Amino acid sequence: MQDKLQQLTDRLYNEGLSKGKQDGEELVQKAHAEADRIIAYAKTEAERIIAQANKEAEELRTKVAADVKMAATQSIAVTKQEIEKMVVTHTATEGVKANMGNAAFVKELITSVVKAFNPANASPVDLNLILPEALKAEVEPLVKNEIANQFKGEVKVDYSKKMNGGFKVAPKDGGYVLQFTDDEFTQLIANYLRPATKKILFG
């Protein structure tokens, strides 16, 4: 009886031990499998994060490079425009001021313009002339004598302190005004100079 009890006890112990060992091995295998899964996931996630970071860094680098290039291009264009404007403005302004403030040049210009209003076989046209106050002493004799004698219509002359050079002419009826001022000539000459200046400066 004692032997049977011992055998039963041993069998139960061995079965329990075997079962425990088997369960333990299964738990260890599951733990290893879970660990492998976690490691694989972590590796995949790390690779994804690194790839995303590299992509974003490349996109940022490309954008920054494009922005820098655009800013540089715009800066160069603005600088070229400023240089061109400075050269054209200086050239046109100095040339026009020298001539439009010159009484002899203005006299010649007035004579040519007035002749255009006085064609042969045309009805007389009365004119209003506006001249710079600074040229009054030198230009007034021309207007009173030569132009008055050559022109069929009446010529009325006013002088303005606001004008620096040149003159304005208009039919007395006030239909329109032709401006031959230094500002008008500066703009006109600048428009002609601009393309040539750009080509000379920048090719």
pTM for the model:
0.49
Per-residue pLDDT of the chain (203 residues; tens, 9 = 90+): 566 666 656 565 555 556 666 766 777 788 788 888 888 898 989 899 999 999 999 999 999 999 999 998 898 888 888 888 888 777 777 777 777 777 777 778 878 887 777 655 566 677 888 888 888 888 788 777 777 677 766 778 888 888 877 788 877 777 777 887 777 777 877 787 778 777 777 77
Specify burial of residue 7 (Cβ count, 10 A radius: 0-12, 13-18, 19+): exposed
Q: What is the pLDDT of residue 5?
A: 62
Neighbours of 166 (CB within 10 A): 25
Can you give the pLDDT at residue 67? Answer: 92
pLDDT in the model for residue 172: 77
Instruction: Please give the order of strands across the beta sheet that includes 155-160.
Output: 155-160, 127-132, 166-171, 178-181
CATH 3.30.2320.30 fits 95-202, yes or no: yes
- Phi then psi for residue 187, to 5 deg, are -65, -45
User: What per-residue confidence (pLDDT) applies to 1?
Assistant: 57
142 class by beta-carbon count within 10 Å (0-12 exposed, 13-18 middle, 19+ buried): middle
pLDDT for the residue 60: 92
Q: What local confidence, expressed as pLDDT, does residue 178 receive?
A: 80
